[in-house]
Amino acid sequence: MDNSENTSGFGKKAHVPSEIRGWNWGAFFLNWIWGIGNSTYISFLMFVPLVNLVMPFILGAKGNEWAWRNRTWRSIDQFKKTQRKWAWSGLLVILLIPFLVTFPFIAMKYSGAYSLSLRAVKNNHLVIRELGQPLRPGFFVTGSFSTSGENANAILRYSITGPKGTGEVLVYATKHAGHWRLQQVVVHASGRRIVVVGGSQAIIAIHPTRI
């Protein structure tokens, strides 16, 4: 295509070449981000509730046409190459989202605070009596970390399951000079509170709070 035939950037009057018609995966995956890069600001409808449910499909179907009309491109070949880059970028983002979502939970599960607490819970005779053996931890670990140099604090929460039932483990641990230390580990199971670390080991009945 020579410059005289290049109608890109002419808006609604632009003729859209048949070579670029078709589905646009970059517009579908990245929607409004793709819209900014391709001067297609109708993609901002992604921020409108309910409309955002169908907008990715509209962008996927109309993306090539809108991008050609809204931006000036040197050639069809440049347009195709650019849209392929958008498509691969969108696919990469979609593949990374599960990792980014689960990474904090994975990081907590491989922390020293988690390992120490799990060992303490599994070796506690009161927890074993209440839940049985073997004891298996749940997949997810939630909570928070705060660090200052080699020192850190951790608050963790995870489930523990045995043949007799399931409990919830609450952990408070501190890290000093690179070493974790459990300050408090408590297991809630069957309406009981089992103190594993942080006081005299005991099973304390939890009574419903009256309002």
Q: Please write the tens of the pLDDT for every residue from 96-135.
A: 877 666 666 666 677 888 989 999 999 999 999 999 999 9
How large a percentage of the chain has pLDDT more than 70? Answer: 87
* Residue 26, pLDDT above cutoff 90: yes
Give the pLDDT score at 1: 47
- Predicted confidence (pLDDT) per residue in 193-204, tens digit: 999 998 655 444
Give the pLDDT score at 14: 87
Mean predicted confidence (pLDDT) in 73-88: 94
Task: Give yes or no: residues 63 and 115 share one domain.
Answer: no
Residue finishing a domain among 103, 121, 139: 103
If pLDDT is split at 50, 70 and 90, which confidence band does 139 have?
confident
Give the pLDDT score at 128: 94
Does residue 28 sit within a domain? yes
Give the pLDDT score at 210: 31
Does residue 172 sit within a domain? yes
Task: Give yes or no: residues 87 and 117 share one domain.
Answer: no
Task: Give yes or no: residues 7 and 60 share one domain.
Answer: yes
Task: Give yes or no: residues 96 and 7 share one domain.
Answer: yes
Q: Count Cα atoms within 13 angstroms, Cβ side, for 107.
A: 10
Which is more confident, 177 or 100?
Answer: 177
Give the pLDDT score at 145: 79
Task: Give yes or no: residues 67 and 120 share one domain.
Answer: no
Question: Crossing angle of helices 25-37/51-70, nearest 10°?
Answer: 70
Sign of CA dihedral 44, 47, 48, 49: positive
Domain residues for the domain of 122 are 110-205
Give the C-alpha separation, 81 to 20, whole Å.
Answer: 11
Give the C-alpha separation, 53 to 35, whole Å.
Answer: 16
* Residue 150, pLDDT above cutoff 90: no
Residues 21, 14: contact at Cβ < 8 Å? no
Mean predicted confidence (pLDDT) in 179-188: 92
If pLDDT is split at 50, 70 and 90, which confidence band does 3 have?
very low
Collect all residues with Cβ–Cβ distance below 8 Å to 31 and sequence separation of at least 6: 43, 46, 55, 56, 59
